Amino acid sequence: MSATTTGYTVTRELDAPVAEVWDAWTLRERFAQWFGAPLPSVELDVRPGGAWRSTLVAPEGNEYPLTGTYPVVEPRRRLVTAMDIPGQDEPALMDMVLEELDGGRRTRLVIRQECRTAEECAEAEQGTLILLGSLTEFLAGER
């Protein structure tokens, strides 16, 4: 982390193989099921420099259009997602690393993100924790 930013790291061990976790993040039909975005709003061009968009629908019904790119794509190992933030010159970068556990039956997922302020970081981390809870439930239902 640089002196002008703050960040967070979240580690989660998931009861699913790396391939299932990767597919949940990169296949639009699966992504829509756990992310809270209606399928018609989800577009994922998962390749270096590819674009993505979705509209997150919060439990209270508010809609949040999201857009960005994929600066780094290392299939089934690492995915860096850049999210466009209104009013900011630079996108927010979320770095996700996947690691096989237990002979490939489980996955360690590590997410890191830098933020401009402690407040932004707290919001981003809370959002990540909510999404990881939803992802965990989705993966459990895949079994």
Each residue of 88-122: pLDDT tens digit?
Answer: 899 999 999 999 999 999 999 999 999 989 999 99
3-state per-residue secondary structure call for the chain: CCCCCEEEEEEEEECCCHHHHHHHHHCHHHHHHHHCCCHHHCEECCCCCEEEEEEEECCCCCEEEEEEEEEEEECCCEEEEEECCCCCCCCEEEEEEEEEEHHHCEEEEEEEEEECCHHHHHHHHHHHHHHHHHHHHHHHHCC
Q: How confident is the model at residue 84 (pLDDT cuts 50, 70, 90)?
A: very high
Reported pTM: 0.91
Q: For position 4, what pLDDT does the model report? A: 55
Give CATH superfamily name and number for 6-141: START domain (3.30.530.20)
- Rounded to the nearest 5 degrees, what angle is found at the Cα of 31, between the Cα atoms of 106 and 43? 140
Computed over every residue of the chain, the mean pLDDT equals: 93
Residue whose C-alpha is closest to residue 7's, from 77, 105, 89, 110: 110
Q: For position 59, what pLDDT does the model report? A: 82
Q: For position 31, what pLDDT does the model report? A: 96
Q: For position 1, what pLDDT does the model report? A: 42
| Spans of all domains in the chain | 6-141
In angstroms, what CA-CA distances link 100 with 40, 76, 126? 32, 10, 25
Q: For position 57, what pLDDT does the model report? A: 87
